[in-house]
């Protein structure tokens, strides 16, 4: 006897970019990039209920600032799935946000990818990841990455995904100020931006990885506080490397072995900004069952 699945709960991981190189502007207005992206143990939580007789998409979120209509990537992902598969059923989706937006952590894209994966399982459509990733391309450049649930090198505008395995899992401290940064704005400014004097932009080598982000130049030029955060982190003895993730506004530190991440987080709030959002987490290789749960300080 087959028991039809009616409900799923999934975790949608955040990501950080260990490297991000901009190779130039494309004819379609996007930029050609090459980036190494890894999931981390910080996750949004999503509950999806299947309604075979209801053709609508019901969406609720604990964060009132998250858009509820077609501007929301979760809603767009669900609509795209039903349109492409021509299925008539509907779903109720409840999203619990833990990943801040405007942070360069890919929260919205991860939520969208998690919806595609979950609906594929709930409705037993048995589409391969490659087909789901193709659906995700029109939703957001990072969506295909999250569909593969693995660390990956991404090229093109981010949609060409090659899963890879990290040399080792990394202990990570995320720092984010109250403001966010628009990815579109950061890329538009890249060509004509200038380096902030005294800030380290050159590649960093640590734990078998090279850390570099070409978007730091355009973002730090306007948001100097982010440059100050990175510089401060690199001065801490517990920190092996520090970098802005994606287009910001999150700056992350890769911690040395046995470092006390919470102590670094407390110093950051005391010396940089008491209102900083901080999260202690780890790279997870795409697993939605991290070895340790992230610690978020209010």
- Give the per-residue pLDDT at 296: 65
Q: Kindly tell me if the per-residue pLDDT of 77 is higher than 90.
A: yes
Rounded to whole angstroms, what are the CA distances from 240 to 208, 217, 258?
A: 11, 21, 12
Q: Kindly tell me if the per-residue pLDDT of 54 is higher than 80.
A: no
Contact between 42 and 105 (Cβ < 8 Å): yes
Residues belonging to the active site: 15, 142
> Element (H or E) spanning 8, and its range?
strand 7-25
Q: What is the pLDDT of residues 232-270, one digit of tens each?
A: 999 999 999 999 999 999 999 999 999 999 999 999 999
**Structure confidence at residue 37 as a pLDDT band (50, 70, 90):** very high
**Structure confidence at residue 1 as a pLDDT band (50, 70, 90):** very low
Domain formed by 7-163, architecture: 2-Layer Sandwich (3.30)
Q: What is the pLDDT of residues 161-192, one digit of tens each?
A: 999 998 889 999 999 999 999 999 999 999 88
Q: What is the CA radius of gyration of the chain?
A: 19
**Where do you find CATH 3.30.70.890 in the chain?**
171-297
Mean of all residue pLDDT scores within the chain:
91
* Average pLDDT, integer, range 44-65: 88
**Do strands 209-213 and 7-25 pair parallel, antiparallel, or not at all (unpaired)?**
parallel
- Give the per-residue pLDDT at 71: 86
Q: Kindly tell me if the per-residue pLDDT of 134 is higher than 50.
A: yes
* DSSP string over 157-219: TTTEEEE---SS--EEEEEE-S----HHHHHHHTTT--PPTT---S-EEETTEEEEETTHHHH
**Structure confidence at residue 284 as a pLDDT band (50, 70, 90):** confident
* Average pLDDT, integer, range 205-232: 96
Residue 52: exposure state from Cβ atoms within 10 A (0-12, 13-18, ≥19): middle
**Where do you find CATH 3.30.230.10 in the chain?**
7-163
Q: What CATH number does domain 171-297 carry, 3.10.100.10, 3.40.50.720, 3.40.50.620, 3.30.70.890?
A: 3.30.70.890
Give residues with Cβ within 8 angstroms of 234, minimum separation 6. Answer: 200, 241, 242
């Amino acid at each position: 006897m087959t028991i039809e699945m009616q409900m799923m709960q999934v975790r949608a991981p955040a990501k950080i970019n260990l490297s991000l190189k901009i190779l130039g502007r494309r004819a379609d207005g996007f930029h050609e990039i090459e980036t190494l992206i890894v999931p981390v143990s910080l996750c949004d939580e999503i509950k999806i209920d299947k309604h075979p007789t209801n053709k609508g998409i019901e969406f609720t979120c604990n964060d009132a600032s998250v858009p509820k209509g077609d501007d929301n990537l979760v809603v767009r992902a669900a609509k795209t799935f039903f349109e492409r598969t021509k299925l008539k059923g509907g779903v109720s989706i409840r999203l619990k946000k833990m990943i801040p937006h405007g942070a360069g952590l890919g929260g919205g894209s991860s939520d969208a990818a998690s919806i595609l994966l979950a609906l594929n399982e709930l409705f037993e459509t048995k589409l391969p990841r490659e087909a789901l990733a193709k659906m995700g391309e029109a939703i957001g450049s990072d969506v295909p990455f999250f569909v593969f649930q693995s660390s990956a090198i991404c090229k093109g505008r981010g949609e060409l995904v090659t899963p890879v395995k990290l040399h080792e899992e990394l202990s990570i401290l995320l720092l984010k100020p109250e403001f966010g940064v628009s990815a579109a704005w950061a890329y538009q400014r890249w060509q004509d931006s200038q380096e902030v004097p005294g800030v380290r932009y050159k590649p960093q080598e640590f734990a078998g990885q090279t850390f570099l982000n070409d978007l730091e130049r355009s973002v730090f030029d306007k948001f100097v506080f982010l440059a100050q955060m990175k510089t401060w982190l690199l001065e801490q003895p517990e920190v092996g490397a520090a970098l802005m993730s994606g287009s910001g506004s999150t700056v992350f530190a890769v911690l040395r072995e046995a470092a006390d991440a919470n102590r670094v987080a407390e110093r950051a709030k005391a010396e940089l900004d008491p209102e900083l959002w901080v999260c202690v987490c780890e790279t997870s290789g795409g697993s939605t069952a991290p070895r340790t749960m992230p610690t978020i300080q209010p």
